[in-house]
Structure 1
Amino acid sequence: MDGSFVSLVFFVVVGVIALSVFFSFVPVMLWISALASGVKVGILTLVAMRLRRVVPARIVNPLIKGHKAGLDLNTNLLESHYLAGGNVDRVVDALVAAQRADIDLGFERAAAIDLAGRDVLQAVQMSVNPKVIETPVVAAVAMDGIEVRAKAKVTVRANIERLVGGAGEETIIARVGEGIVTTIGSSQRHKDVLENPDRISQTVLNKGLDAGTAFEILSIDIADVDVGKNIGAQLQTDQAEADKRIAQAKAEERRAMAVATEQEMKARVQEMKAKVVEAEAQVPLAMSEALRTGKLGVMDYYNLQNLQADTHMRKSFGHVDEKADAGIDDEQG
């Protein structure tokens, strides 16, 4: 009795484990949901998905959703997109949204857009509900030298045909900014831009800035226009300051050259004085040599000394007369 009971319990436990393994490997409930929704998916197909390491729910649930929306889909299409690394659920949602919005979008194009890294569902929604892109403040200088700051709002709609390989929002913003700079820079006066800001939007819109992008520009509206700095006056001031510094540098260079010339002249004068002193030092030696050799007599030497003393006395009288004349002129003044 006890042995049969143990055997019964053993078989029950083994059966429960086997059923658990079976239902965990074979998605029976998912197969039942598909049949109840009118989607024909074989149980062996679900098992094969398990073997191919595909989550059956990621395929069957979007398939049920697409079938209810009237889309012509099958497990092979969805499974191949899943194995390629795509988001099957998002692609099916995009197809359903495109069908409701009467947008021509097939599974192959939607899958290509999804694999390209773009949100295909957001692209479909943007095709129905355009998006507004706000550019940063763009600063440009008019011909009169006044800086003008402008900010624009660009209304774009996704272009399904150019989503694969088309440029993104950054390109739109860059091109609009370039158009704003060109329009402001070609204006004669900054007041013309302030009086007619729609001129910027019209000029930029006519340039076809959406070429090669994943969007279609619907409108460009100038959100804000402000007057900035007087760049022309600032440039002139900077140029004048630069010219002033150049002139000061040249004057300093000329002064340095003059000082150097003066120092050189002083050095030459000192050199000449040194030569004179050296020559004067040679005079007594020459006279003594002349006296010693008999070329100069004693009386000649005395006459020379008297001549020098007389000359010195006359110079002294001359200095006294000059000082006296200067004193008389001071008294008369």
Structure 2
Amino acid sequence: MDPSTITTLIFIGLGVLVLSVFFSFFPFMLWIAALASGVRISIIQLVAMRFRRVIPSRIVNPMIKASKAGLGLTTDQLESHFLAGGNVDRVVNALIAAQRADIELSFERTAAIDLAGRDVLTAVQMSVNPKVIETPVVAAMAKDGIEVRVRARVTVRANIDRLVGGAGEETIIARVGEGIVTTVGSADAHKKVLENPDDISKTVLGKGLDAGTAFEILSIDIADVDVGRNIGATLQTDQAEADKNIAQAKAEERRAMAVAKEQEMRAKVEEMRAKVVEAESQVPLAMAEALRTGNIGVMDYMNLKNIESDTKMRTSFGEDAVDNNNLDGDQ
């Protein structure tokens, strides 16, 4: 290839590279689009955005939409929100949607909601088109002990004035569940709840559950009501079983105390028998000592033996008579 041709190609390539770098830093096409849309912004302002680490397209494109909608925003407002970490495009879309829905909403308010982490565009849409939140199944027990399982649908509308600092959907669901439990629990019988489920809606809706939240509750509709377990009977059965176990434990305690008392009495009887045997073993020694010392004579000793023999004989007669009476009674 001719050296002049190669040189020409090199210069052309360098020229294209320089132009691409130049146009990427100096967004002429974006500037032309802004001018064509009626947005007065200079090329110097676009270059200055580069130095401020602001992406020009993130400012110019929303500015074009805002200008066409007649919002009257400035590039400084959009830049400050972008530098604060906000979503400029979403804020502008929310302002346009609010203007079309005749909702009074300022840029400062919208930017604050966006910086607070709320989806301001969705909030504006919810102000026009309410959202339905379905609660999980809430189980509650009426006064007759029957469980009632309720599922509700809550229709809410976003309250833009309370989006900053207001509680979310979880709080609404929790409060509605608490209201359902309270209403069902105050019913005398579960049949009344089944006959008039709209009483739950009226009672819960009248409690002002949307206070301090980012929503306004429009209606609470009962989607489903079912009868669950007989919790009262279950509790009574459990209580009876617990009482039976307590009674059994007390009876076992008394039996153990009786056994211990019986063993204690047996030990005392055995101790007394041992003492008697020990005392009886001392009698012959005492008699021998009395004879040796002359405290009693031989005739006294013989009379004592006769008395013992007579006592044993009478005892034997008495035992025989008792046995005969028992035999006669058996016959």
> Normalized against structure 1, the TM-score is what?
0.90
How far the C-alpha of 1:4 sits from its partner, in A, is: 8.8
1:60 is the counterpart of 2:60: yes
Moved more, 217-226 or 297-306: 297-306
Number of the residue aligned with 1:273: 273
Q: Where do 1:124-139 residues align within 5 Å?
A: 124-139=124-139
Q: Distance in 2 between matches of 1:205 and 1:250?
A: 52
C-alpha distance 50-271 of structure 1, shift in aligned 2 (>3 A): same
How far the C-alpha of 1:311 sits from its partner, in A, is: 3.1
Q: Distance in 1 between matches of 2:6 and 2:146?
A: 98
Count matched residues: 330
Number of the residue aligned with 1:234: 234
Q: Per-residue displacement from partner, 1:40-87 (whole Å, max 9, x unpaired)?
A: 221111111110111111111111122222221221111100000000
1:200 is the counterpart of 2:200: yes
How far the C-alpha of 1:127 sits from its partner, in A, is: 1.2
Q: Which amino acid aligns with 2:228?
A: G
C-alpha distance 324-110 of structure 1, shift in aligned 2 (>3 A): closer
Q: Distance in 1 between matches of 2:298 and 2:8?
A: 166
SS of 1:111's partner is helix
Moved more, 147-156 or 15-24: 15-24
Number of the residue aligned with 1:248: 248
How far the C-alpha of 1:25 sits from its partner, in A, is: 1.5
C-alpha distance 64-328 of structure 1, shift in aligned 2 (>3 A): closer
Aligned-CA RMSD value: 2.4
C-alpha distance 182-329 of structure 1, shift in aligned 2 (>3 A): closer
Q: Per-residue displacement from partner, 1:191-237 (whole Å, max 9, x unpaired)?
A: 11111111111121122221221111111100011112223333333
**Structure 1: unaligned runs, 5 residues or longer:** none
C-alpha distance 125-259 of structure 1, shift in aligned 2 (>3 A): same
SS of 1:319's partner is helix
C-alpha distance 325-148 of structure 1, shift in aligned 2 (>3 A): closer
Q: Distance in 1 between matches of 2:230 and 2:137?
A: 17
Number of the residue aligned with 2:180: 180
Q: Per-residue displacement from partner, 1:123-142 (whole Å, max 9, x unpaired)?
A: 11111111000011112222
Q: Distance in 1 between matches of 2:45 and 2:150?
A: 60
Number of the residue aligned with 1:18: 18
Number of the residue aligned with 2:219: 219
Q: Which amino acid aligns with 2:31?
A: W
Q: Where do 1:248-327 residues align within 5 Å?
A: 248-327=248-327
Q: Which amino acid aligns with 1:242?
A: A
Number of the residue aligned with 1:161: 161
Q: Which amino acid aligns with 2:157?
A: R
C-alpha distance 305-209 of structure 1, shift in aligned 2 (>3 A): same
